[in-house]
Amino acid sequence: MIWSYLIHLSYNMWADRDVPGREEYLSAKPYLRFDDHLWNDLLKEMKKAGINMIVIDLGDGVKYESHPEIAVKNAWTLERLKEELAKLREMGIEPIPKLNFSTCHDIWLGPYSRCVSTETYYEVCQDLISEVIDLFEKPRFFHLGMDEETAQHQRHYEYVVIRQYDLWWHDLLFLVREVEKGGVRPWIWSDYVWRHPETFFEKMPKTVLQSNWYYGSEFKEEITYVKAYLDLEEHGYNQIPTGSNWSVQENFEKTVAYCKKHISPDRLLGFLQTVWKPTLKDYRESHIQAIEAVSRARRRWANM
């Protein structure tokens, strides 16, 4: 059973400007926002909690050999990344890469975030995916993101890009193929299914690992975000359901209980905990609480 935790090396995935009344960390910055001391502390806590997989949102936090121009100031060198990946494996924590190619969360691509669906864009995406697969030594999964590509989610942006209809599918399937070329299984956020269920189940390959997400406390079928777990199960997709302490502290444990009851063990690969805060000391308590929730859920798992 996978017990995974999403952590951000780069947090350049939201608005490309500061927005009054919103947290500063939600806007992109030209430098890395990452605390090494907190990172090491959190790894120790994850190991104690029984977390056996970490999904690292890399973004522009790495000086890629193929595209060093997108790296922010103080981004990790390739040597540093390899050292950290080796450390994770020694701790028994499987590292999984994440690069979010949703146009809602691709500020990290720098100038290429304004080249979406062009030949230049496809070449850059291909280069980055191939390089990251090599850096992670052919990981089991590669998380491509692909969530929240809507006008509403980009309402604070100065530059808005939304792919729709066949173009969204063309680009998603291009990214999926690039991951599969490297012998790795693609993994995405599943929220496209909330708004386009018929198209989703017609076109989404079963090879793509699904992470539906819901961060509330009530698990009722009439809630679209909850029903998606049932619909994905009905259509035979492998799932890693995602919880968070973003809204309520009890969400992750309730997610685990609900999904164990409603998803076949053959298709329920595990769970992903998300905190949606940068890896900075000001947000230490949020990370600790999220990790503790995984620990509690794991202890109760066998008795559910």
One-letter identity of residue 276:
W
- The predicted pLDDT at position 14 comes to 85
**Opening angle at CA 8, ends 60 and 297, nearest 5:** 160
- The predicted pLDDT at position 18 comes to 86
At the second CATH level, the architecture of 2-301 is: Alpha-Beta Barrel (3.20)
Mean pLDDT of the chain: 97
Nearest of 158, 156, 161 to residue 21 by alpha carbon: 156
Helix, strand, coil percentages for the chain (3-state, nearest 5): 45, 15, 40
The per-residue pLDDT for range 38-85, each reduced to its tens digit, is 999 999 999 999 999 999 999 999 999 999 999 999 999 999 999 999
- The predicted pLDDT at position 16 comes to 75
Residue 17, pLDDT above cutoff 90: no
The per-residue pLDDT for range 247-268, each reduced to its tens digit, is 999 999 999 999 999 999 999 9
- The predicted pLDDT at position 64 comes to 98
Neighbours of 250 (CB within 10 A): 14
Query: What does the alpha-carbon distance between residue 205 and residue 295 come to, in Å, rounded to a whole number?
Result: 33
The confidence band for 87, taking pLDDT boundaries of 50, 70 and 90, is: very high
pLDDT higher at 23 or 167: 167
With a pLDDT cut of 90, the percent of the chain lying above it is 95
- The predicted pLDDT at position 265 comes to 98
Query: What does the alpha-carbon distance between residue 3 and residue 241 come to, in Å, rounded to a whole number?
Result: 10
- The predicted pLDDT at position 246 comes to 96
The predicted model scores a pTM of 0.98
Average pLDDT of 113-130? 98
The confidence band for 301, taking pLDDT boundaries of 50, 70 and 90, is: very high
Average pLDDT of 160-164? 97
- Indicate the domain borders of the chain: 2-301
Q: How many residues does the chain have?
A: 304
Query: What does the alpha-carbon distance between residue 76 and residue 165 come to, in Å, rounded to a whole number?
Result: 37
Query: What does the alpha-carbon distance between residue 129 and residue 141 come to, in Å, rounded to a whole number?
Result: 12
For the CA atoms of the chain, what is the radius of gyration?
A: 18
The per-residue pLDDT for range 211-248, each reduced to its tens digit, is 999 999 999 999 999 999 999 999 999 999 999 999 99
Give 15's strand partners.
Answer: 27
